[in-house]
Amino acid sequence: MFSKACEIARSAPREVGTIEHLINRPEEGVHVPVESLTLDAAEGIIGDRWKSTAWLRLDDGAPDPRVQVSMTNTRVMHCFTGDAPGAVYGCGDNLYVDFCLTEEALPVGTHLQMGDAILELSDEVNDACGKFVQRYGAEAFRFIRDADNMPLRLRGVFLRIHRSGTIQVGDTITAVG
């Protein structure tokens, strides 16, 4: 049922991608579509809840910067959410893109230029969470976590802000240095 997601993940653009949709999450369960986001290496996405509610914390209690930003492939997520208007954007990610997110295309540590910001691909795996199961079902959850599918990063990736800046819908995404 979800096998099309694997095909889409592999065939997404690898050299130059595009930011298709941006979401700011000011509080738990609130997803606000925006045209641009301001990214700050210390603060995370300005106005986003990451700093106060990050699920991953450092030993000192501070939010882990490896999960400052979440990014997913829009077309892959449509395989799980269907085509209902806006359904894909309820997944809880900040960036919805047309870009190949597979391990083969983007090794951990890859720097991505978006707008005037640079983000670093995290080693923290996005393997879906309980909210994903609630929204899209146990079958979709198991499919994403299947060992053969994990390298495709069907649920998306986490990013750390390496250089602060602003990103906008329509900006390109490229791997740099």
List, for residues 28-81, the tens digit of each pLDDT value: 888 899 999 999 999 999 999 988 888 889 999 999 999 999 999 999 888 888
Q: What is the pTM of this model?
A: 0.93
Classify 157 as helix, strand or coil: strand
| Percent of the chain's residues with pLDDT above 70 | 97
Beta strand pairing call for 172-176 and 165-168:
unpaired
pLDDT band for 101, please (50, 70, 90 cuts).
very high
Domains of the chain by residue range: 3-176
173/118 Cα distance (integer angstroms): 10
pLDDT given at position 153: 95
- Residues 131-145 have a mean pLDDT of 78
Is 3-176 CATH 2.40.33.20? yes
pLDDT at 6 over 70: yes
Q: Summarize the confidence of residues 6-30 as an average pLDDT.
A: 93
Higher pLDDT: 101 or 92? It is 101
Residue that has been written with the tokens 């208007």 in this structure: 85
